[in-house]
Structure 1
Amino acid sequence: MEFKLLSETEWAYPDTPLTTETPEISLEAAAGGHTGFQILAKACAGSVSILWDDKPLSADIFSLLPVVVDENTAPGLMTTTDYESCKGYVTKKAPFEVYDALMPYDKMKTGSSRAFYIRISVSEGAEPSVCTGRLVYKTGREECTIRISCRVHPVKIPSLFEASLGMLNFFDYDNLFLQHNVPRGSESYWSLFRQYVRMQLSLRCTHILLPPGSPLYHDGQLEGFDFSDAETAGRIALEEGAPFLCGGHIAHWNEWTENEYYPIWDADTGVTTLNGYFQLKKYFTGWADVIRRNNWSNQMCQSLADEPQIHNAGTYRILAAVFRKFLPGIPIIEAVETADLGGGVDIWVPKQDTYEKNREVYDLLKKNGEELWFYTCAFPAGPTMNRSMDLPLTVTRAVLWLGAAYRLTGFLHWGFNFYIGEDIFRKSCCPHKGKLLPAGDAHIVYPGDGFVLPSIRLEAQRAGAEDYELLWQLIKKDPQKADKIIASVCTSFTSYTRDAGVLLKARRSLFQALCSDRETDF
């Protein structure tokens, strides 16, 4: 039977060439971590099963679903149909299909898939060992056995409560009812939200974004805010094991170059006006009551207004001061476009190129005790590290290696489930302000029928987060060696390996460096 085995960090396509070589796969993992591989076969499977020998690991089987990349990532912003302008950094000429969405195998019709992803999970208490087993792939007439070997190293991925890397992915609450056709606020709505929270936690998100309060009016006058959705969401997130919650944005600019911010419920009233202050007072007083009533003070942070920049930095500081008056002690976390926000931000999150262009000043903030994360989004596009489906899959993973290299302690992305469009399986470049976002920029999961589907990019990003935790352990032990290993994978947000083999070799060196003074005779 013809097969093709691929790592978890390289793209598989419906037209990927197959071979007739005897299939076998060797994997490496840490306790509390994950690893995996992909299988493409000529014939659809009648059944796929995994049999372990004497030291079983947990394995989940997914069918790989093709997704259409309708346009390529443009050199500067959004997408392009000019392949000549982007062929130096994209993987294929759009439009093309790539296996990104992951459907749990037990939800697929038997015999309907020939592409699979195998996720292997290692328990936190796993002892160092080499676990062996076999995957049995059966079609109607043939059977093939794939030998599996997984070396569990004597190192551990910490729990989210002990993580060195913070992570926040923005969440779109409207898409729970728009894409899943469930009434907002219904039992099925919140049941789906619980699934999405579990998916975020599986990605190693430490912070769960809550929806903002909804304004309440009487005779056209603002009377207060309804925080019931935020309260329900927060309770579910904490029940599922989220370490932290993040309050949703409450203000935005109308024009990028304007110096004023406006409440999201009133685009005509500036936050620096007296009426704006009274509205903010109503909001923050009510929100503070919710936080106190639920004892969330030690688990809460707040985003106020996305991407403050040079034109509105002064207004943002006023907004932050009003917030601190009513919710003292709650940290403010913000994606920022300027460093001129001192006192207004507690967790600075510059975009990847913003950080590199202004590294000296951001590192000065860090040196003086400020906490720095970073984020990626549709701009800048081109070869800049992001999780677009036409960039090498190594990028989705390696971006967190570079976070470790720069000693940044968190990662943010705006697009967890912002499904924009009618069918993101056939058009993954979502429309935005008359243009198209790079493929997958708006989402890293997919809407299923009553459930949520992960993606191979989610698996790669989680792998990068786990790599970050191991790199951070080596940074504490031998920072020079850690930096050397990272440099073999990436040296900037535009300079990185496209070869999954290079990244996995570096990861092997990472394991060796961490285990050099530990028992490894297994």
Structure 2
Amino acid sequence: MYKRKTAIKSYLVFSMSIILLCFFNNTVQAAPFECFAVSDLVRIFDDGYNCPEPQEAIEIFGIRNEYLSAQCVVKAGRDINHVAVSVSPLTRIGGAISLPLDAVSWNFVGSIAIAENAPKIRKADLIRPAPARFPDYLTEEKQISLEKGKYRAIFLTIKIPRDAAAGRYEGTVTVETEQGSGSLPVHLMIYPLTLPDERHLMVTEWYSTNKFRQFHGIDSSDSEKFYDMLAVYAQNMAEHRQNVFRVSLDLISSKLDDKGGLTFDFSRFDEWADVFWNTGRMDLLETGFVARFGEGDWSSNEVLLRDFRVQEQSSGRSVTMPGEKFLPQLLPALENHLREKGWLEKTVFHIADEPSNHNVISWRRASQFVHRYAPSLRRMDAIETPHCDERLEIWVPKLDHLTTWYDVYKEAQSRGNELWFYTVGIFQKGSHPNKTADVALIESRLLHWLNYRFGLTGYLHWGFNAWTDDPFEAPGQHRGDGWHVYPKKDGLLNSLRWEQMRNGIQDYEYFRMLEDKIAEIKAGLGENSFMIDPSQRGVEIASQLVRTMGDFSRDPHALYAAKKQVIDELLDLERPPKIIIQTNPLEHSVVANDCAIDLHGWAEGGTKILINGRQLPISQDGLFMENVSLSRDHTIVVEAEHEKGSKRIVRSFEVLY
């Protein structure tokens, strides 16, 4: 009897094992891969390193005329083949309205090999130790295979049309493989605002045509193909909101007569410039670079005017002419030519790149020399010195120097000079936003939150396409910082950093939209509205992410919450009761316990305002000003009541006891 029971028990266990195994195998067969959403602001490594928590749907929002980014991931449960992606039309809920099919594009994300992490960057600021493959570019592949356990990101780009109807849109991303398919919901919210075409932030990425032959198979002698490819570059820049471009002085041909006089032919210079002007979205032309460092290059104590090549009219020979003799003739001619073309006010002129304290005296002489012969040209240089007074109209310090000598640079700005900044990844010290491929992707976007946060009006970077011979497998010492696009035979591949650069520039315009709306209200008020600073609210919101130049959040959720806050406040300024609230110091400032906060602003007529429960007096023109104390939770609560509606506004502070 015992043996019989044991046999029956063994049989049942065996049978159950077979059933469970079959169930498990069927389950695996039914789900050969996972598909989930993640933030567009993170890099997804092929081995899943530090992969964020999967999300069940792609949730995105924006306004009309804006590019949006989204990202999802395929994780292979076993080897899968012929992995392809499709995106359904995004259709508005409550109506048969869809975005155009070409409004949405997608790309698999490719990775580059980095052997060693970038120097001068704190280990805590790196997203992963090298060696590793770092996700960085948008591939052209439309079908891939994926090994078991591997991850592959899919990057979506959505261009919201200028005439899109506001509302919530839905669609799906579908991943199809030989082993099955899976879908992911897409939820898009379009708010009733429009991003302006006008660009308030000046942005330049220096480009080169030196590798057109190597990567595009185009020789400079093939004029038509050359300019067609140059137009591809210009269009890519314009689509990413770059609005400043370089044209070399060496494109101007010069002829020398027997008496030492020079004549100039600007036709090639003009043709090159027109390629960029014809995008319709460029605001500034950069040229110049008329001086060089002496012996020892950057470490030299001298900055010297460089030589120029000219052609002798009589012999046809090409000869060298020193800058001291060449520039007094070229500069007035160039200034007149730019004026005739209508480009003079849109041109900025470089003296020499990156003068520093050890050679700034000779740089100042070179700058004054240029100004003597072309007084209407605005001078601009990337600088590593604070000693540029009266020799520069556009100051562009490196970000770490901007932090160190901030007071000097802001003083220069207060005297009417423009203040930009530039970055060089491997030579930048401190914990500042950077653009090497081994730091957090969000940093490429936060550069332009930093721009707005500190009242800066431009950004310069040296590398649009300064590729190594193999930027994919041997990116060299700059770890991707030397380029924002990757080469392909017939054009360019965008990088994740380039996409986030555009997003950051768009974010800057969000802040400007808020500033402009407050400025519009202020313009209709009396002289007592002097106390309202139109830029203050944008600065306060930007400071939620960028507290200082070296202290900033890398949290994607915090960024999108702040972006949504700008949208909400823009829309709120259109709803009654209209009200502007400002404080001194700014919201989020560190203040002493029980200190007085200066609160001031404006409200439309008929509005009653309560501050932490106490009614505030308002003048006939709607302006008010009061010293108030913080509540126990370190906030100021403003309640505005009007017959047409009510609002509750909160400002928060950090208190030191």
TM-score, normalised on structure 2?
A: 0.69
Q: Tell whether 2:190 aligns with 1:152.
A: yes
Matches within 5 A, 1:16-165: 16=48, 23-41=56-74, 42=76, 43=80, 44-53=82-91, 54-56=97-99, 58-75=103-120, 86-104=122-140, 108=141, 110-111=143-144, 114-159=152-197, 162-165=198-201
> Would you say the 8 A contact 2:85–2:173 is kept in 1?
no
Structure 1: distance between partners of 2:52 and 2:422: 39
> Would you say the 8 A contact 2:291–2:303 is kept in 1?
no
Per the alignment, residue 304 of structure 1 pairs with 351
Q: Per-residue CA shift, 1:180-222, capped at 9, x if unaligned?
A: 2310242222211111111111221111111231576999x99
Q: Structure 1 residues 425, 228: CA separation in 2 closer, same or farther (over 3 Å shift)?
A: farther
The counterpart of 2:446, out of the listed 380, 390, 398, is: 398
In the TM superposition, what is the alpha-carbon distance from 1:484 to its structure 2 partner? 3.1
| Amino acid across the alignment from 1:135 | V
Query: Which sections of structure 1, spanning at least 5 residues, go unmatched?
Result: 77-85, 267-273, 430-435
Structure number with larger C-alpha Rg: 2
Q: 3-state SS of the aligned residue for 2:108?
A: strand
The counterpart of 1:202, out of the listed 239, 249, 274, is: 239
Structure 1: distance between partners of 2:208 and 2:54: 45
In the TM superposition, what is the alpha-carbon distance from 1:6 to its structure 2 partner? 2.2
The counterpart of 1:247, out of the listed 287, 295, 313, is: 287
Q: 3-state SS of the aligned residue for 1:466?
A: helix
Structure 2: distance between partners of 1:265 and 1:116: 49
Per the alignment, residue 508 of structure 2 pairs with 468
Structure 2: distance between partners of 1:264 and 1:8: 48
Q: Tell whether 2:451 aligns with 1:418.
A: no
Q: Tell whether 2:43 aligns with 1:11.
A: yes
Q: Tell whether 2:516 aligns with 1:516.
A: no
Q: Per-residue CA shift, 1:324-374, capped at 9, x if unaligned?
A: 344342322221222322232111111111111111111112222221111
| Amino acid across the alignment from 2:545 | V
Q: Structure 1 residues 359, 381: CA separation in 2 closer, same or farther (over 3 Å shift)?
A: closer
Q: Which moved more, 1:313-322 or 1:162-171?
A: 313-322
> Would you say the 8 A contact 1:65–1:103 is kept in 2?
yes
| Amino acid across the alignment from 2:273 | G
Counting aligned pairs with the same residue, the percent is 22
Q: 3-state SS of the aligned residue for 2:573?
A: coil
Q: Structure 1 residues 109, 468: CA separation in 2 closer, same or farther (over 3 Å shift)?
A: closer
Q: Structure with the greater relative contact order (CA < 8 A, sep ≥ 6): 1 or 2? A: 1
Q: Per-residue CA shift, 1:425-475, capped at 9, x if unaligned?
A: 01223xxxxxx22x1111111111121111110011111111111123334
Q: Tell whether 2:303 aligns with 1:260.
A: yes
Q: 3-state SS of the aligned residue for 1:424?
A: coil
Per the alignment, residue 166 of structure 1 pairs with 202
Q: 3-state SS of the aligned residue for 2:331?
A: helix
Q: Per-residue CA shift, 1:53-83, capped at 9, x if unaligned?
A: 223151122221111122212136xxxxxxx
Of Structure 1 and Structure 2, which has the larger fraction of its residues in strand?
2
Structure 2: distance between partners of 1:497 and 1:21: 21
> Would you say the 8 A contact 2:515–2:535 is kept in 1?
yes
> Would you say the 8 A contact 1:261–1:312 is kept in 2?
no
Per the alignment, residue 212 of structure 2 pairs with 176
> Would you say the 8 A contact 2:335–2:376 is kept in 1?
no
Per the alignment, residue 13 of structure 2 pairs with none
The counterpart of 1:281, out of the listed 313, 328, 331, is: 328
> Would you say the 8 A contact 2:64–2:163 is kept in 1?
yes
> Would you say the 8 A contact 2:108–2:142 is kept in 1?
no
Q: Tell whether 2:528 aligns with 1:483.
A: no
Q: Structure 1 residues 308, 92: CA separation in 2 closer, same or farther (over 3 Å shift)?
A: same
Query: Which sections of structure 2, spanning at least 5 residues, go unmatched?
Result: 1-32, 92-96, 147-151, 310-320, 519-533, 577-657
| Amino acid across the alignment from 1:340 | H
Matches within 5 A, 1:492-503: 492-503=548-559
Q: Per-residue CA shift, 1:164-195, capped at 9, x if unaligned?
A: 21111111121323432310242222211111
Q: 3-state SS of the aligned residue for 1:237?
A: helix
> Would you say the 8 A contact 2:44–2:135 is kept in 1?
yes
The counterpart of 1:454, out of the listed 494, 519, 526, is: 494
> Would you say the 8 A contact 1:3–1:19 is kept in 2?
no
Q: Give the count of matched residue pairs.
A: 490
Q: Which moved more, 1:285-294 or 1:221-230?
A: 221-230
Q: 3-state SS of the aligned residue for 1:46?
A: strand
Structure 2: distance between partners of 1:357 and 1:406: 14
In the TM superposition, what is the alpha-carbon distance from 1:226 to its structure 2 partner? 6.7
> Would you say the 8 A contact 1:48–1:135 is kept in 2?
yes
Q: Which moved more, 1:375-384 or 1:471-480?
A: 471-480
> Would you say the 8 A contact 2:308–2:323 is kept in 1?
no
Structure 1: distance between partners of 2:412 and 2:53: 56
Per the alignment, residue 79 of structure 1 pairs with none
Matches within 5 A, 1:335-484: 335-378=382-425, 379-381=427-429, 383-419=431-467, 421-429=468-476, 436-437=477-478, 439-475=479-515, 477=518, 479-484=535-540
In the TM superposition, what is the alpha-carbon distance from 1:22 to its structure 2 partner? 7.6
| Amino acid across the alignment from 1:441 | D
Q: Structure 1 residues 260, 12: CA separation in 2 closer, same or farther (over 3 Å shift)?
A: same
Structure 2: distance between partners of 1:449 and 1:382: 38
> Would you say the 8 A contact 2:109–2:139 is kept in 1?
yes
| Amino acid across the alignment from 2:277 | L
Per the alignment, residue 315 of structure 2 pairs with none
Q: Per-residue CA shift, 1:264-320, capped at 9, x if unaligned?
A: 659xxxxxxx95310223443554465356442233222221122223333333333
